[in-house]
Amino acid sequence: MTSPAYVNSTTSNGITTIEFFHPASNSLPGAILAQLAEAVTTAGQDAATAVIILRSGGDKAFCAGASFDELVAINDTATGQVFFNGFAQVINAMRTCGKIVIARVQGKAVGGGVGLVSAADYAIATSNASVKLSELAVGIGPFVVGPAVEKKIGTAAFSQLAIDATEWRSAAWAEQHGMYAAIFDHIDSVDAEVSRLAARLAGSSPEAMRELKNIFWEGTQHWDNLLTERAAISGRLVLSDFTRNAIAAFKTKK
């Protein structure tokens, strides 16, 4: 029996852990995106939360990105924009929540998953947590997640990921370019490092961390509008014959 998708939040000792799961390699349908954005926003407003850990369930992929089942069901530009705006809402929630967000990455990240990792303030991953921005290969492009990825790793590295859309980049590559702060061979070591850092931050000054967060994201105040505009581009392109055929071909290979 397939396990149901979920987003769960738990808070202990100043640390709120937000875990999402979807049986299709932790892909992100609209409902999960909405719940993620709400969970991050709620944690940001919670005085009992000093730091947020973002993780996904299971022991394989961290996140496969957009749900292909929902992509092929989009029939008009308005629906397309609403779907892609779900990614915008999660990224903007992580950006504006006022709390340091640590991403715990146990496996590969694709598309929107790379956006989630990049929107975190600090990411710790396993050495098999490769990354890929596959959007161009299906006729879309990483328009919504692009600003977060580019801010994290720079324009040159972002361009490499966006243009060479069928190739994986290793966790070592992601660490070299600043997407991952550290990588470890075993998930137990990742969890130990995440716990160590989160505990230390939970005992730090909330005001100082909030001011640091503001500095980290300085110059992104326009992202509320920018990411919505980018979602409209993706919402239009997802209706193209190229994209529909590419997604259908991909689903046939699975």
Nearest-angstrom CA–CA distance, 122 and 100: 8
Which residue bears the tokens 């738990």?
A: 10
Nearest-angstrom CA–CA distance, 62 and 65: 9
Q: Which tokens go with 204? A: 């730090």
Nearest CA to 126 among 102, 103, 106?
Answer: 106
3-state secondary structure of 184: strand
Quick one: average pLDDT of 155-163? 98
Residue 55: which H helix or E strand, with range? strand 51-56
Question: For residue 149, is pLDDT > 80?
Answer: yes
Residues 6+ apart with CB under 8 A from 211: none
pLDDT (tens digit per residue) in 187-217: 999 999 999 999 999 999 999 999 999 999 9
Question: For residue 2, is pLDDT > 80?
Answer: no
Residue 185 is classified by DSSP as S
- Please identify, in words, the CATH class of the domain defined by 6-202: alpha beta
> In the predicted model, what is the mean pLDDT of the chain?
96
Residue 100: which H helix or E strand, with range? strand 100-105
Q: Which pLDDT belongs to residue 48?
A: 97
pLDDT (tens digit per residue) in 170-184: 999 999 999 999 999
Percentage of the chain exceeding pLDDT 70: 98
pLDDT band with cut points at 50, 70 and 90 for residue 72: confident
Question: For residue 254, is pLDDT > 60?
Answer: no
Question: For residue 17, is pLDDT > 60?
Answer: yes
17 bridge partner residues = 10, 53
pTM of the model: 0.96
Angle between helices 112-119 and 146-153 (to 10 degrees): 50
10 Å CB burial of residue 219 (0-12, 13-18, 19+) is exposed
Angle between helices 77-96 and 30-45 (to 10 degrees): 30
pLDDT (tens digit per residue) in 77-136: 999 999 999 999 999 999 999 999 999 999 999 999 999 999 999 999 999 999 999 999
Question: For residue 26, is pLDDT > 80?
Answer: yes
Please tell me which residue, 245 or 208, carries the higher pLDDT value: 208
